[in-house]
Amino acid sequence: MYPSYLNLSKGELNKKIEKLFKILENCQICPRKCHVNRLKRERGYCKLGDLPIVSAFHPHFGEESVLVDRHGSGTIFFTSCNLSCVYCQNYDISQLRIGEEISFERLAEIMIGLQNQGCHNINLVTPTSQIPQIVKALSLAIEKGLKLPLVYNTNAYDSVEVLKLLDDVIDIYMPDAKYSDNKIALKYSNAKGYFEIMKKALKEMHRQVGDLRFDENGIALRGLLVRHLVLPNNLTGSEKIFEFIAKEISRDTFLNVMNQYYPHYQAFKYPELSRRITDKEYQAVLKSAKKYGRKI
């Protein structure tokens, strides 16, 4: 059956939910490992508690065409983020944390509502810190007839132990491979050890779902779709990321090299980040992606 979560028995899904909520008691849901009890509403780095917090939801037509097609990607923007990128374009959601706490039932209704609008998938934006809540809501949505694949749309600062619990739950992983230099990741996103954490996360994602596959209309069904946002002055260290993907994931990885960087939020405090990228910079990154056999 498709999507994969329909093959899990109720007992199997409940077991995953139980394990995920157990991790919240001494929170190690993401690599920050804050060790706070989120079930008692203690707050760690992400400032999230035990209930889902959502900023917006709607069919989205600005995502990759393989997710959008005619009816859009059913996107849910989860509030807060476990990174603090100084140039974040969604900083009101991720760092100012503008959003509404809702019940699990309401989150399930949102998923069903997006399905009823004809969306091709449920696109979970920044799901990492709220994945126990999302899977719990998923179990309620399945009872209400949800049958769309889930897209895990993440910054890739994810814990492998938690990702393992999402095997057979998520069909499409869409990580953003952001940096290959840990010092740069720490400076602009406060993400200690980002490169190693991202690499382990991508390997686990690919182990679960493989390369991206499509239906007869070219809509993504299952697999890994890697995004890479090019920053000015080669701050992303792109070539090292492409080399890793080619050598340790798959030369057939679907890769979207994005050129839409704009200096949002606090980026103007950093001269090296305070401009868009040039066409020359973008072409150089594309050239290095092609060198490693990337599909773009």
The residues that touch ligand SF4, with contacts defined as CB under 6 A, are 27-30, 32-34, 36, 44-46, 48, 82, 129
Q: What is the CA radius of gyration of the chain?
A: 18
Between 20 and 48, name the residue whose CB sits nearer to ligand SF4.
48
Cα angle value 104/68/81 (rounded, 5°) = 45
For residues 163 and 285, which CB has a smaller minimum distance to ligand SF4 in the complex? 163
CB of 58 to ligand SF4, least distance (A): 25
**Which residues touch 14 (CB under 8 Å, ≥6 apart)?**
139
**Looking at beta carbons only, is 34 or 277 nearer to ligand SF4?**
34
Taking CB positions, which residue lies at the least distance from ligand SF4? 44
Q: Kindly state the smallest distance separating residue 42's Cβ from ligand SF4, in Å.
A: 8
SS3 of residue 10 by DSSP: helix
d(CA 250, CA 206): 9
Cβ distance to ligand SF4 smaller for residue 45 or 57: 45
CB of 82 to ligand SF4, least distance (A): 4
Q: How far is CA 29 from CA 128, 150, 237, 245, in A?
A: 7, 19, 27, 25
The minimum distance between CB 223 and ligand SF4, in angstroms, equals 26
Closest to ligand SF4 by CB, 32 or 294: 32
Choose among 252, 249, 165, 245: nearest CA to 212.
252
Smallest separation, CB 40 to ligand SF4 (Å): 12
Query: Helix, strand, coil % (nearest 5) of the chain?
Result: 40, 15, 40
